[in-house]
Amino acid sequence: MWAGARLVRLLMVRVLALAALAAACSSAEGSRGGDGRSGEVDGAGDAAGVETPAPVDGDVAGDPAPDLPPRVEPWIAVEGSEGTGCSGGDLFRFFVRKGATDRVLVDFEGGGACWNALTCAVASATMSAKAPTLEEFEDGLAKGAFSGVLDTAQPENPFREWTLVHVPYCTGDIHWGSAVKEYADGLVFHHTGFANGQAVLSWVYENAADAAQVVVSGCSAGGYGALLHGAYAAKHYADAQVTILVDAAGGITTPQFVLDSIAAWGVAKNLPDWIPGLVDTPEEELTFQRMVEEIAKAYPEQRLAFYSTAHDQDQAAFYKLMGGDEGAWPEALAESLATLAGKAPNFRYFVPPGYLHCVTPHSIFFSKQSHDETRFVDWLGDLLDRNAEAPPSQLCQEEGFARPPDCTQDLECEACLQLPAEQQPFYCSWCDGIVTL
């Protein structure tokens, strides 16, 4: 189910691109792209793969307490409060695995996006219209649909003992929207992604009031959610170390897409009104690059980071659906990142070779390497260490090296092709569509 959804999404991206092209030829038109708390599980149980240490033999009164890892609990569902919801009006919920309350990861789920009649008519092929139940979410964990930063059985996971909060995506608005939009007769979307994200943060503020380290991350559409809601988290946790990690959401878009989506989703009223560079920006200039620049400037002591493969097939395909040149996407991304790094000293990026879309939800989170064999998980660990300088950015590009790397080479996909379908890791579903549109 989970792997098939990814493949269907890739196919639908291509269908949408062709449909948009046909529409452009015929009509000169084209584009793409809680406080509420449920019954919590009383009594703590160990999360899979994390053992609660036994008492140390020989401890006596007066001895210093052993340095034990934090107690972690099973995943629970937290129901959304009033004002939250999904695209069809269904209930919203999110998922929490309580661990150390001084370290919190808020992870925004990815998916597609929909901003006009064409994209919203087929949105069910690229995103979920409902938040999963707890049982469905745990099934996804068991099958590897949610791995990477949520894999608590992996010893190398830097978030293994943290409190983990997973934010499902069911609104089609990259977690930014506050609008109910009728795109055609009977085609009504509830874009409530902003309310959902803010409800999640309200729960975090209440249950991790004294957090010293907070990471707000997200893949694809969730990466954009991490950027916007990360600014709110940075404001609330003024004395904490806040890191915003944007995964596979490079913001290479067309001007028309920016205008169409911002208006359709009702984003303007959700911008951080304490950051002048954002609230004073005309809608047509409200790009990903502008948002990164202004948020980084507002919080110079915090760190913002970006990940993408050099030839991310999903981002390039959506750029074409928006009306852009798919072949120009890799160079446009490299230029955008270089410009941002020049304007924001607290911004870093990691761009390894390959085509795969996203790293944080997949098992390759622990193995993906840059062109010089730096592992992303190690690089991220250095980024989270505020006692050290932020690690240098990593960018695979075919120019500027004595022996240029092949930035189109994807070792993970090559390995996938050697395995029978039933033995392939979940992320292999992204390798099925490595073809040009």
Model pLDDT, residue 400: 59
Q: Are 171 and 114 in contact (CB under 8 A)?
A: no
pLDDT digits (tens, 9 = 90+) for 363-411: 999 999 999 999 999 999 999 999 999 999 999 986 655 556 789 899 9
Are 128 and 145 in contact, with CB atoms under 8 Å apart?
Answer: no
Give the predicted TM-score (pTM) of the model: 0.85
Measured at the CA of 108, the angle between CA 189 and CA 249, to 5 degrees, comes to: 85
Q: What is the rounded average pLDDT for all residues in the chain?
A: 84
The yes-or-no verdict on residue 198 having pLDDT over 90 is yes
Cβ proximity of 256 and 28 under 8 Å: no
Note the pLDDT of residue 299: 98
Mean predicted confidence (pLDDT) in 252-278? 94
Confidence of residue 124 (pLDDT cuts 50, 70, 90): confident
Is the model more confident about 119 or about 75?
75
| Separation between Cα atoms, residue 79 and residue 220, nearest integer Å | 24
Q: What is the DSSP string of 127-174?
A: S-SSPPPHHHHHHHHHHTSS-GGG-TT-TT-TTTTEEEEEE---SSST
Please tell me the least confidently modeled range out of 180-189, 304-313, 420-429: 420-429
pLDDT above 70: percentage of residues in the chain:
81
The model's pLDDT over 276-318, given as tens digits with 9 standing for 90+, comes to 899 888 888 889 999 999 999 999 999 999 999 999 999 999 9
Q: Report helix, strand or coil for 429.
A: helix
Q: What is the pLDDT of residue 123?
A: 85
Confidence band of 101 (pLDDT split at 50, 70, 90): very high
**C-beta of residue 104 within 8 angstroms of C-beta of residue 165:** yes
pLDDT band at 431 (very low <50, low <70, confident <90, very high): confident
pLDDT of residue 26: 37
Asked whether the beta carbons of 106 and 215 are under 8 A apart, the reply is: yes
Given this model, what pLDDT does residue 49 score?
A: 35
Higher confidence at residue 125 or residue 176?
Answer: 176
Q: Average of pLDDT values for 40-46?
A: 33
More confident residue, 417 or 392: 392
Specify the pLDDT at position 404: 62
User: Could you tell me the pLDDT band of residue 436, with boundaries at 50, 70 and 90?
Assistant: very low
Instruction: Look at 31-40, 247-256, 408-417 and tell me which has the smallest mean pLDDT.
Output: 31-40
Residue 222 above 70 pLDDT?
yes
Report whether pLDDT(18) > 90.
no
